[in-house]
Chain A
Amino acid sequence: MPVIVSGQLTTSASYIGYDSLLAASDGTITASTEAEGYAAENMGDWRPFTWWQPTATGDSWARVSFASARSVDYFAVAAHNLSSSGSTIKLQYSTDGGSNWSDATAAAGGAQDRVISATFDAIAAADWRVLVNNPSTIASVGIAAFGTKLDLTKAPKAGYSPAALSRRAEYTTNESSTGLFLGRSIERTGFPGSFEVDYLQPSWVRSKWEPFVDHAELRPFFYVWDSSLYSSEAVLAWTNGSIPPAQYDTVWSMKVSLKFNALR
């Protein structure tokens, strides 16, 4: 359990995953199989409504190859049905052009088809692949991202509500003329969230945060508020308004904040 010291969670296991080698313009993507309309590239387009879907049970892979080694230290998957399909997914890499593959992560299915996330010590390789094992039912994977994570260096400020626990639902309720409950339907659900991180190095804000802002203005990202204890509460998030500017909270430190909607 994190310990609160001076209003700040001591854990520094918060990170944002937005670097995605599957979205890199210089990578070459291939796949063992692809169903029509379910290209492997869809995993890298940050759209949670387009999918990669292989056509065969057993092991299937989607590979991205580069001319030179790329460093990866996180892997996250969203908008999938691996768990309900009884399937698993893991990230592998090859340093010999694809002849031999090593696991970067353990195989995981993700409880209730929620976001899967994993971190590991940085690995450099030119060939990476997502390996899905579909024992019987073929699963679809909407977003799979791996690359270099953005460590937030500080945890969110106290009072933070994990987005994965912040379910919001809007309802329509019908009552009869005499007041009897007749029916209710859900109009929409979602997982809104926000965080604020302060006491950040100004140089970090300029070199790390600003590139992320460039990405977040256009595309979703993974937010893992505590990868050490609550990696299962990772979410795929997208901003729902302008990203507030970073502010100096002391003469030597800055703070950043973000509001977003998410799916878990």
Chain B
Amino acid sequence: MPYDSRKTELGREPIQVVEIDLDYCANSFGVQAAFEAVGGALAFGSGSRSLAALSSTDVAGYDSSAGTLGAYRFDGSAWAVVTSLLAIGGSATAASMCALDDHTVAVWDSATDTLRTYETDGLAWSAVGSGVALGTFSNIRMASLSASDVAVIDVYNRRLRTYRFGGTTWGAVGSYLVLPAGSMTVAALSSTEVVVFNGNAGTLRSYAFDGAGWAAVGAASTVPTTAAPAVAALGADTLALTGDDLDALLVYRSDGSVWAQSGAATDIGAEASISVAAMTGELLAVSAAGGDTIQAYAYGSLNCTASGTAGTECYNTRATCQDPANYNATTKTYRFCQARSNLPVGVNMIPAIEGSVSHAPTSTTGGKGLGNRAVVKIQLNDHAWHDRDVDPYVATRPYDPETTGTYAGKLLARNPYFEGRELRILNGYLDTPFSWDNFRTEYYDITDMAGPTGGKWLIQGKDILTRTYESKAKYPAASTGELLADITAAAASATLSPTGIGDDEYPASGVLSIGDEVMLFTRSGDTLTLTERGAWRTVADDHSEGDTVQVCATWDAANVLTVLRELLVEGAGIPAAYIPDGAGENWNVELSNWLSSASVTGILLKPEGVESVISELSKQFLFDIWWSAVDQEIRVKALSPEPSGSSPATLSDAYSLLAGSVGVRKDSKARVSEVQVYYGKLDYTEKDEPTNFKALYISTDPNSAGADRYGSDSIMTIYSRWIVLKEQAAQLAGRLLARFVDTPSVVSFAVDIKDEDDIRLSERVILDTAAIQGVTGANEPTAFQVTKITESAIGSTLQVEGLSSSFSGRYCFIAPDGTPDYSAASADQQAAYGFICYDSGVFSDGTEAYKII
């Protein structure tokens, strides 16, 4: 029985389960990885050969003895030829090839001394453009830098040079660099950097290309010598290398300056004329004379170089790691549950939760800013533990874990880095047979783990939006670049310091601030071209060496949800997957219905707390935002009237509202009789105060403040640095006044879990209860916007809070073309769409007119 149909909780036994994911290393202590042959081999080549990876499954193979080019595919278990073979040259003693993209290669062979491009349509190969002679019939080695550029080593002449394919012809780019003598090969680490494996010298050395020439980077690292080296880049800092007399595949990693072997060697037998191509960072294609086959090798992820005697191993956690360079991060799930006498057999979870999970749920405000973030606290009983399934090396420990320390004490000591890791609360039932399908999962970030104290320990989590807190997220990110030298108020350029900071932190163009001045810029390296001084109504001024150059965030008529997304994803680092803005999803629906005209114009001159900016936007563009822990989504809901045609669920005293649970009070502080919106901020470097805005829009309902009604004004004043249009200010003021012109009621009530599907945060429900009566004493069904839901008795009872929805009148959507007049329209059309009524303010059937908001 799926959990979301909890209308049948009768006789079921609820249970709460808590899961936490903590860091865990996938490696085994002291076990070093190596490549392993995977799948079968395919006959390929008979002498010299070259491979180039086209994709994660395909390689191009050039058999220079036969002079044929083909494509070969590995499906995980076997190789197959997937194109016809193209004869492109005579029998050659040497060949080299690299892939320009997933269907194009550059090939050179010693028989023709021609570098030429070939492409495949998946069935056959054909030449593209013309070739170029490289001036040697000895040996060439190549590595692809980009879709057009290759790094070429003329081994005989010891020259490293870039060649570029312009679509039809090849040509040299920049000057060449003379390399130390030796049998060499090359692999590209990036679009501007290669590593050269000199087999005779037994060295690895990096070289960088600056567009004009090549230069050595750092010092050479020592590797085994070989007469005929082969190398492939597994990543920007990882290589697989081999050679004729090595008979093994070796992995080398760079720490930025020195290359060193990582893991164990893989025996590939006595091979010669070896070619290797990296299909992925962990999958190689290898072909060699000897076996004359092509064979795939997969690289194991286990690679720990730590050494130590038995009993001194780590605990596979980051804090206890003895080989941090090879820490292989993954997660380990720890699961706890409430104590029950009938726990499901075979499901690993420790019944340590004391009582139930303390849950302060998220709450919304009805468009008055961010509500409260959900907080969950789990108190657990600590206990002795044998460490099985926790300590992977428990068998070798010199102590008895059952009598040494406690579960929580050891867990927290081994896992001090828990903040931000995932915490899941699973609410479900102990049905027979047991099934996780009977559980509903809520997702949170771990914010604290503490204890053990007095035999207890604590796990605390908060919802994902806590990542927006000022202490955790600021936007834009603080820039660390400074002016290299003084600039005048008229200067059109500036230089960033320290060297290299430009590429590290600054976009190619944008907006920046120095002091109180905003400038527009473009950038090349560390050099800024200041295309506009004194932008955003600031004043151009002199600036001094050492002044901070801060990148600004700006929006010009951007939709508020676009801004919100940027703040969440780029500002708070929240995964975009948590934002439901696909077609038909929450954000898209709210955008279409209510927020399409919510236009934001403004600038963040300096880093500001993401939470406070979002809170401003929420208040000024009238939407709620909250973390839906069940849906794993950040949801929004615009402050809006209930459109005609919608039908919130009705909860009644008879069938839903629990005895004695309904409470209603008036929130007189929330009443508004007049809304004043200051908009069009003048000076973004100054505070929000009336004199710093170009206009004020006022929306008022004088009747509500009259002596015969509420008797006093209640004025809400908003200073908006994000609104520049009068229409936007009017919409904000109008909606706020319509929503709060009458003193809103705050209601609290409880329902059985059977009604769970009818109650959604920020949505409306109608209460039909004796606690809300009309003037005749009859129940007056009233709509409330749900602001808080607490599962007060797990799997049984929901405690709900709501705010009355006081938009009076009926609201509608614009009718589509072809909709008939009101009198001829169907009831559904009348309910959903707007119609123009008589001057009397009513329709022919006596119903009231629609309102525009």
Contacts and interface: CB of A to CB of B under 8 A. Distances in A.
A41 B341 contact: no
A184 interface: yes
Contacts of B656: 176, 182
Given A81-B346, A183-B754, A176 B655 contact: yes
Interface stretch (A47-55, A56-64, A120-128, A203-211): A47-55
Interface centre among B348, B433, B660 (most CB of A within 10 A): B348
Contact of B386 (A45, A142, A263): A45
A84 B653 contact: no
Interface residues of A, number: 40
A156 to B, nearest CB: 22
Nearest to A112: B432
A175 B341 CA distance: 27
A113 B345 contact: yes
A80 interface: yes
B793 interface: yes
A48 B386 CA distance: 14
B653 A177 contact: yes
B795 interface: yes
Contacts of A174: 658, 752, 796-797
A172 to B, nearest CB: 5
B388 A41 contact: yes
Nearest to B661: A177
Given A185-B9, A188-B13, A178 B653 contact: yes
A186 B11 contact: yes
A180 interface: yes
B658 A188 contact: no
A102 B813 CA distance: 82
B832 interface: no
A7 interface: no
A180 B797 contact: no
B12 interface: yes
A126 B753 CA distance: 56
A261 B655 CA distance: 38
Given A172-B797, A176-B653, A178-B654, A51 B659 contact: no
A36 B753 CA distance: 37
Interface string A154-192: 000000000000000000101111111011111111110
Given A174-B796, A175-B658, A179-B659, A49 B343 contact: yes
Interface in B349-390: 349-351, 386, 388-389
B814 interface: no
Contact of A186 (B12, B349, B658, B770): B12
A144 to B, nearest CB: 13
B87 interface: no
B343 A182 contact: no
B349 A49 contact: yes
Contact of B388 (A42, A142, A175, A190): A42
A177 B350 CA distance: 39
Nearest to A78: B345
B298 to A, nearest CB: 22
A38 B656 CA distance: 45
Interface string B657-682: 11111100000000000000000000
A49 B348 CA distance: 7
B759 to A, nearest CB: 14
Interface in B316-370: 339-343, 345-346, 348-351
Given A177-B770, A184-B11, A263 B341 contact: yes
Contacts of B657: 176-177
B733 to A, nearest CB: 40
Contacts of A80: 345
B416 interface: no
Contacts of A190: 341
Given A172-B793, A183-B754, A191-B341, A37 B348 contact: yes
Contact of A142 (B10, B345, B793): B345
A42 B793 CA distance: 33
A185 B429 CA distance: 10
A140 interface: yes
Interface centre among B662, B769, B793 (most CB of A within 10 A): B793
A246 interface: no
Contact of A177 (B14, B342, B660, B793): B660
Contacts of B386: 41, 45
Nearest to A44: B386
Interface of B: 9-14, 339-343, 345-346, 348-351, 386, 388-389, 402, 433, 653-662, 752-754, 769-770, 793, 795-797
17 contacts: A39-B389, A49-B348, A79-B345, A81-B346, A113-B345, A139-B345, A139-B346, A172-B797, A175-B658, A177-B770, A182-B656, A183-B754, A185-B10, A185-B795, A188-B13, A189-B341, A261-B341
Given A177-B661, A189-B13, 10 more contacts: A49-B348, A49-B350, A50-B348, A176-B653, A177-B657, A178-B653, A184-B10, A184-B796, A185-B796, A188-B339
8 shortest interchain CB distances as A-B pairs: A140-B346, A177-B653, A81-B345, A186-B13, A182-B752, A174-B752, A185-B796, A183-B752
